[in-house]
Amino acid sequence: MSNEAIPATGNIASYIDHTLLKPEASEAEILKVCAEAAEYHFKSVCVNPVWVKTVKTALKGSGVLTCSVVGFPLGAIPTDVKTFEARGAVLDGADEVDMVINIAAARAGDKGALVEDIASVAEAVHASGAILKVIIETSLLSDDQKVLACQASVEAGADFVKTSTGFNGGGATAEDIALMRRTVGPDLGVKASGGVRSLADAQAMIAAGATRIGASSGIAIVKGEQGSSGY
């Protein structure tokens, strides 16, 4: 991607999933994030499933999407449970769902298990017209395992691949984004999340091939400041 295509402060908000996934987040904090997203015109607000209805109502008419997470943050639950969780999230109003893969399967090189897990969730999400992003948790995988997880996501019909939950150490790097983009090709979305705290961070990820940024420092990013949050 050329420098001319890298968004500046004025339009980078449209790349950002404004995120609050702390388990202790209160309703007041969730509503504050929604108000910020509406003010700054972020792409979505990303929250845990318990808050989807609240967010959907708060964002009504704002043009900001509602995003939720599934199998979060470990991914180590049965596929049918992830699928049930995803179906519930979209029924509650989620426009997008970010699921965590079976990380052990990726580390074991079991592509078939990955495809089965992702495809089941994808079917549930797409049945309601929602978008599926697949979190591969790059900090726990080798490059070969990252490639395998991305290939499985493509085969399973995912709409995006995503770097990280932000809960297992590490985070997005430009190198991982570039590897993921090379693997999935030009058409699938690539989301950088975990440690993206400044405009420069976000621009570097987009230059490497990201089409979405997950961050709790979205306001700092659009203001050209340095955020302090870990996600």
E strand or H helix that includes residue 132: strand 131-135
Active-site position among 98, 117, 159, 176: 98
List the beta bridge partners of residue 70. Answer: 99
Active-site position among 56, 82, 146, 191: 191
Query: How far, in Å, CA of 68 to CA of 70, rounded?
Result: 7
162 in active site: yes
Active-site position among 56, 162, 176, 201: 162
60 in active site: no
191 in active site: yes
Tokens representing 41 are 């015109």
Ranges assigned E (strand) in 158-207: 160-162, 189-193
Residue type, 83: T
Query: How far, in Å, CA of 211 to CA of 224, rounded?
Result: 19
Neighbours of 48 (CB within 10 A): 18
Catalytic residues: 98, 162, 191
